Amino acid sequence: MRKIRIVLFHSFLFVLFTILTQIGGIVWLICIPLLNYIKKYVLHKIQRWIAYLLGPLLIYLIVTFSLIPLLASLWGRVPLPINHGSLRPLTLMTVLLNRHYVRKELRNVVLETSEQMTAKFPGTVVHYLDAGFPFIHGFPLLPHLSHNDGEKLDLAFFYTDVLTKQPVNDSPSPIGYGICEEPTSNEENTAAYCTSKGYRQYSLLQRVMPQGNKKNYLFDSRRTKAIILLLVQNRRIGKLFIEPHLKKRMNLMKYDKIRFHGCQAVRHDDHIHIQLP
């Protein structure tokens, strides 16, 4: 019975770490002999639990930063930069969870675009959100429906400080999702429509994300429109998703590449989704 419990415990963590990071499950399996070694030789209880925690974490970080970028190139994927002057992850968790891999072509597009943004708006940093995992075409990056081939990427909106009205580089949501630039009463409310049609997941992130920080920021339509224009005018970008009311508000109706993603997805008035084809 005890053996079954141990197998179930390791299986649960394998699935959980695989869903979150793709490689975390395999790293956990590799670490099982290490955990057994710690159990046998580290006798002090607190030291043993510290070793349980730090041992696998250290191995995961070494694999994540040294081995995975090399192996990902075999699947035609490259990591997005971590500390580039004009392009960075909004949260380091994106990188730590290996969710920042894309095809080289997409990395080049977003790097060029971010540099153009910094040239046009000095001091501006473009923040990326979820991209894709390093390996296997079709491997899902939950909760996204389509981020499974290195050809999709989410970017954060731009904001200004509500008091100073000056552009800022941070975002009201710590993960870039879930704090929305909602439609006014005169605008098309796709979120309400999709929810009324039974698509309960459409505004799920907004419901779970604390909204307290929203009052400190204003949606920066000037810079957000500028980056959207740079992206849709780039022939390598195939589609861009934002919520229909923002497409209309920013006067972008003539751009066919800017599409509505459908009620089966989640709302896109908190971020920009781009994809190659």
Which stretch in 9-17, 40-48, 151-159, 182-190 sits in contact with Zn ion by CB under 5 A?
151-159
Q: Give the residue with the Cβ less far from Zn ion, 26 or 145.
A: 145
Least Cβ distance, residue 153 to Zn ion (angstroms): 7
C-beta closer to Zn ion: residue 155 or 218: 155
Rounded to whole angstroms, the Cα distance separating 157 from 176 reads 8
Stretch that binds Zn ion, among 56-64, 116-124, 152-160, 187-195 (CB under 5 A): 152-160
Q: How far is the CB of 131 from Zn ion (least distance, A)?
A: 9
Residues between 61 and 120 with contacts to Zn ion, criterion CB under 5 A: none
Distance CA 98, CA 276 (A): 20
Q: From the list 99, 247, 261, 273, which residue makes contact with Zn ion (rule: CB under 5 A)?
A: 273
How many residues touch Zn ion (CB under 5 A)?
2
Closer to Zn ion by Cβ: residue 154 or 182: 154
Contact stretch for Zn ion (CB under 5 A) within 54-62, 68-76, 176-184, 266-274: 266-274
**CB-based contact 135:72 (threshold 8 Å):** yes
Minimum CB distance to Zn ion smaller for 25 or for 244: 244
List 151, 154, 181, 243, residue binding Zn ion (CB under 5 A): 154
**SS3 of the chain:** CHHHHHHHHHHHHHHHHHHHHCCHHHHHHHHHHHHHHHHHHCCCHHHHHHHHHHHHHHHHHHHHHHHHHHHHHHHCEEECCCCCCCEEECCHHHHHCCCCEEEHHHHHHHHHHHHHHHHHCCCCCEEECCCCCCCCCCCCCCCCCCCCCCCEEEEECCEEECCCCCEECCCCCCCCCCCCCCCCCCCCCHHHHHHHCCCHHHHHHHHHCCCHHHHHEEECHHHHHHHHHHHHCCCCCCEEECCHHHHHHCCCCCCCCEECCCCCCCCCCCEEEEECC
Which region among 53-61, 114-122, 161-169, 265-273 touches Zn ion (by CB under 5 A)? 265-273
CB of 268 to Zn ion, least distance (A): 8
Should residue 269 be labelled a site residue for Zn ion when binding is judged by CB under 5 A? no
- Residue 223 or 271: the one with the smaller Cβ distance to Zn ion is 271
Q: How far is the CB of 274 from Zn ion (least distance, A)?
A: 8
Residue closer to Zn ion by CB (options 126, 168) is: 126
Stretch of 24-32, 49-57, 91-99, 153-161 lying at the interface with Zn ion (CB under 5 A):
153-161
- What count of other Cβ atoms lies within 10 Å of the Cβ of residue 135? 17
Cβ-based nearer residue to Zn ion, 68 or 156: 156
Cis ω before 143 (30° cut-off from 0): yes
Residues that bind Zn ion (CB under 5 A): 154, 273
